[in-house]
């Protein structure tokens, strides 16, 4: 019964039929079902089968043809759905945006300050945060018993843990320490801006923190005058807070400058008319400044008869508060993304 065997062997071939792509599938269809295909050939053979076998073999042959067609259709559908899914992919679409980080407001303001002063010839200088007494106080004309070490609430670093021996290693409490480092390592003319973090032993509140940021400025050359200082600060204030901004210098005291002053700008909220921010005065204080004390020049090896200089120091948080009205200092270091994201477009 050669025909029956052929049908059964094709049956098992067909049930395992696989195609990797549409071309392979078409080749299979031709192999089995075309006019010259193997199944068609069996139908031809069927014509010469004796009548008593026709019923059984006829059924088997029909079954083989249906199964082959069914299997081919099944495989074709698989290709079609894959192709349809591939069509749905829009390969030109930009990928989902990755949430980008934002610039920290203090960095934005520090960079703006650096940028403004770089336009009048200042370069950046850095110094260590863990400092010694000499660079933070001694060479800046603080007398050995000067209360400023307490006044500035210095963090002293214990040489042996838990043993509070007198120590001259400390966390710098102001960036004025970078002045002494620069003046001992460079010769005038010196024109530097020293941004950095400073530390003070203060209870943390909305208005005070144990660390914050300052930018120090220093210019030492022949014939540097108080008028030069005033001009540089007026230029800075107008660039930072707008061309209408006015400044005023009030006499003050710092050990490392003589004369010393504190500088106010006209309140950028009320324009100088007086509001709750400037407590009705129309002015807000933004920095300390003065002419570098000759003792400081001398302690750094600069001849104070030949050279003079000016210096100023400002708090970056203070300037940022004025620009962006951040009322609570703690926000700057809490990493709350709801706060930080507000600076996305800056
Ligand atoms: N170092 C001062 C402070 O932390 C700020 C300061 C005042 C810096 C006057 C200066 C200056 O360079 O001339 O309060």
CA of 225 to the centre of ligand 1 (A): 18
State the total domains in the chain: 2
Q: Are 240 and 173 in a shared domain?
A: yes
Of ligand 1's atoms, which has the minimum distance to the CA of residue 198?
4
Residue that terminates a domain, selected from 25, 53, 87: 87
Band (pLDDT 50/70/90 cuts) for residue 192 is very high
Q: Are 58 and 171 in a shared domain?
A: no
pLDDT of 227: 98
CA of 312 to the centre of ligand 1 (A): 6
* pTM listed for this prediction: 0.72
CA distances from 19 to 5, 26, 64, 79, 308 (A): 25, 9, 18, 10, 89
CA-nearest residue, atom 8 of ligand 1:
313
CATH code of the domain containing 271: 3.30.930.10
pLDDT of 241: 94
* pLDDT value at 196 more than 60: yes
* pLDDT value at 164 more than 80: no
pLDDT of 320: 94
φ, ψ at 139 (rounded to 5°): -75, -10
pLDDT of 20: 84
Unique residue bearing structure tokens 């089968």: 49
Whether ligand 1 lies within 6 angstroms of the CB of 142 is answered as no
Residue 211 bridge partners (DSSP): 199
Mean of pLDDT values over 8-18: 88
Mean of pLDDT values over 77-104: 82
Tokens read off for 232: 């540089």
**Cα–Cα dist 156/136, whole Å:** 12
Residue that terminates a domain, selected from 42, 59, 87: 87
Whether ligand 1 lies within 6 angstroms of the CB of 176 is answered as yes
pLDDT of 313: 98
Least confident of 96-110, 138-152, 252-266: 138-152
**Cα–Cα dist 215/276, whole Å:** 27
pLDDT of 276: 84
Q: Are 27 and 141 in a shared domain?
A: no
**Cα–Cα dist 234/273, whole Å:** 20
Mutate to test the pocket of ligand 1, among 176, 177, 199, 293 (most ligand atoms within 8 A of CB): 176
* pLDDT value at 139 more than 80: yes
Whether the Cβ atoms of residue 28 and residue 10 lie closer than 8 Å to each other:
no
Whether the Cβ atoms of residue 326 and residue 343 lie closer than 8 Å to each other:
no
Whether ligand 1 lies within 6 angstroms of the CB of 309 is answered as no
Name which residue leads in pLDDT, 212 or 84.
Answer: 212
pLDDT of 277: 82
Whether ligand 1 lies within 6 angstroms of the CB of 312 is answered as yes
pLDDT of 1: 54
Cα dihedral 14, 16, 21, 26 in deg (nearest 10): -10
* pLDDT value at 152 more than 80: no
Q: Which domain holds residue 211?
A: 105-343
* In-domain check, residue 296: yes
pLDDT of 345: 64
3-state helix, strand, coil in the chain (%, to 5): 45, 20, 35
Q: Are 267 and 175 in a shared domain?
A: yes
């Amino acid at each position: 019964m050669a025909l029956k065997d052929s049908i059964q062997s094709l049956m098992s071939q067909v049930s395992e039929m696989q195609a990797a792509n549409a071309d392979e599938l078409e080749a299979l269809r031709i192999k089995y079902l075309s006019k010259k295909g193997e199944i068609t050939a069996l139908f031809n053979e069927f014509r010469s089968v004796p009548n008593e076998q026709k019923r059984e073999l006829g059924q088997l042959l029909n079954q083989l043809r249906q199964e082959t067609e069914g299997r081919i259709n099944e495989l074709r559908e698989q290709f079609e759905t894959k192709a349809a899914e591939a069509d749905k992919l829009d390969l030109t679409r930009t990928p989902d945006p990755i949430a980008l980080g934002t610039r920290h407001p203090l960095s934005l303001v520090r960079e703006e300050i650096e940028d403004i002063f770089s336009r009048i010839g200042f370069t950046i200088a850095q110094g260590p945060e863990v400092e010694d007494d000499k660079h933070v106080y001694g060479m800046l004309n603080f007398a050995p018993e000067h209360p400023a070490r307490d006044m500035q609430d210095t963090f002293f670093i214990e040489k042996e843990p838990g043993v509070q021996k007198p120590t001259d290693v400390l966390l710098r409490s102001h960036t004025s320490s970078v002045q002494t480092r620069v003046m001992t390592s460079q010769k005038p003319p010196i024109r530097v801006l020293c941004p950095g973090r400073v530390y003070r032993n203060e209870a943390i509140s909305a208005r005070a923190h144990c660390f914050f940021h300052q930018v120090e400025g220093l210019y030492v050359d022949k014939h540097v005058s108080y008028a030069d200082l005033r001009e540089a600060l007026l230029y800075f204030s107008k660039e930072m807070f707008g061309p209408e901004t006015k400044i005023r210098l009030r006499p003050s005291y710092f050990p490392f400058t003589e004369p010393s002053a504190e500088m106010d700008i006209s309140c950028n909220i009320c324009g100088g008319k007086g509001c709750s921010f400037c407590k009705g005065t129309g002015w807000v204080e933004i920095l300390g400044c003065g002419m570098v004390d000759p003792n400081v020049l001398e302690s750094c090896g600069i001849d104070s008869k030949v050279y003079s200089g000016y210096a100023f120091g400002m708090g970056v948080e203070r300037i940022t508060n004025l620009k962006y009205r951040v009322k609570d200092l703690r926000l700057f270091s809490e990493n709350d993304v709801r706060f930080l994201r507000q600076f996305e477009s800056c």
